Amino acid sequence: MPAPPAEGLSGADWHFRALESLYAAAAINGTFRSTLEIPKAGAARIRFEVDPTLFHAAGALHGAAYFKMLDDAAFYACNGLVSDRFLLTTAFNLHFTRPLRAGWCTAEGRWASGRRRVFVADARLLDADGEEAARGTGTFMRSHIPLSSLPGYRA
């Protein structure tokens, strides 16, 4: 269970800020520079700038970056509904619709179904003009890892 809410934060808001801190603390985000925002339970938004160091040989963003951002947005949308355990991705289906070459992008995740053991969320990746570049659907399940045991989980 999360620590008591910091002054001025409700239990849910404390949990959302702690998840944002957990995201920022992940070593992978040194490579994929990005920021997470959880505005409410069941929703998450990640902003990132397309970095040419992540391009494939044809000069556009590699699919690994599409997956990472969509998976993270869907994952955090679901983990916003769970305050005691870290979730794990069990499957993710990704559809590419257009290449990304430069500029700021947003990955938006939205919880779709499930609340007990398995969660499903949709995510979409938008370019700076709001045009969709990819979309995906993920399934996530509760792990045995308490959120409170993770060093980055704090508001």
Could you tell me the residue ranges of all domains in the chain? 11-149
Q: 49-76 burial by CB neighbour count: b if 16+ within 10 A, else e?
A: ebeeebbeeeebbeeebbbbbbbbbbbb
Q: For the chain, what percent of residues have pLDDT higher than 70?
A: 95
- State residue 2's pLDDT score: 44
**If pLDDT is split at 50, 70 and 90, which confidence band does 10 have?**
confident
Residue type present at position 88: L
The yes-or-no verdict on residue 1 having pLDDT over 50 is no
> Can you give the pLDDT at residue 6?
54
What's the confidence (pLDDT) of residue 155? Answer: 86
Residue 141: what pLDDT? Answer: 98
Task: Please state which architecture CATH assigns to domain 11-149.
Answer: Roll (3.10)
Q: What is the mean pLDDT of the chain?
A: 94
Angle at alpha carbon of residue 114, lines to 134 and 11, rounded to 5°? 95
Rounded-to-integer distance, Cα 85 and Cα 147, Å: 5
Percent of the chain with pLDDT over 90: 88
Give pLDDT tens digits for 42-95: 999 999 999 999 999 999 999 999 999 999 999 999 999 999 999 999 999 999
CA dist., res. 129 & res. 98, Å (int): 13
pLDDT > 80? residue 8: no
- pLDDT at 3 > cutoff 70: no
